[in-house]
């Protein structure tokens, strides 16, 4: 009987996620969503004027970038569930997204 009580106590102490992770995940999703919409709407114009890409190719590139950005959270969720956990995958996703926006900004300048 005491063994069951110890397991329940340990399970309640080692509980992860829940409302603790919500502010971080919500803030990063909102910030990345705003950044994604701002950069993806200007990507076609950027490709047309800076790289002299045809309009059809620029639209296709923009759609591929948007699709990858929309599917990245699904891949992150699968990796998070299977291997690493919530925090490391969320931090890595935010870091990669920030790095991509910094590189995009540097190429524009």
Structure tokens at 10: 């340990």
When pLDDT is cut at 50, 70 and 90, the band that residue 74 belongs to is confident
Q: Is 31 strand, coil or helix?
A: helix
- Distance from first CA to last CA of the chain, Å, rounded? 68
Q: Are 73 and 93 in contact (CB under 8 A)?
A: yes
Q: Are 6 and 68 in contact (CB under 8 A)?
A: no
Question: How confident is the model over 31-55, as pLDDT tens digits?
Answer: 877 877 777 778 888 899 989 999 9
When pLDDT is cut at 50, 70 and 90, the band that residue 16 belongs to is low
For the chain, count helices (H), then strands (E): 4, 0
Count Cβ atoms below 10 Å from residue 11 Cβ, excluding itself. Answer: 9
């Amino acid at each position: 009987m005491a063994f069951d009580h110890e397991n329940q106590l340990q399970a309640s102490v080692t509980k992860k996620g829940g409302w603790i992770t919500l502010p971080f995940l919500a803030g990063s999703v909102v910030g990345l969503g705003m950044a994604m919409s701002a950069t993806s709407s200007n990507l076609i114009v950027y490709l047309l004027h800076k790289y002299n890409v045809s309009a059809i190719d620029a639209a296709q590139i923009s759609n591929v970038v948007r699709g990858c950005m929309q599917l990245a959270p699904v891949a992150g969720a699968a990796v998070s569930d299977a291997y690493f956990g919530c925090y490391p995958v969320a931090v890595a996703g935010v870091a990669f997204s920030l790095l991509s926006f910094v590189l995009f900004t540097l190429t524009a300048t």
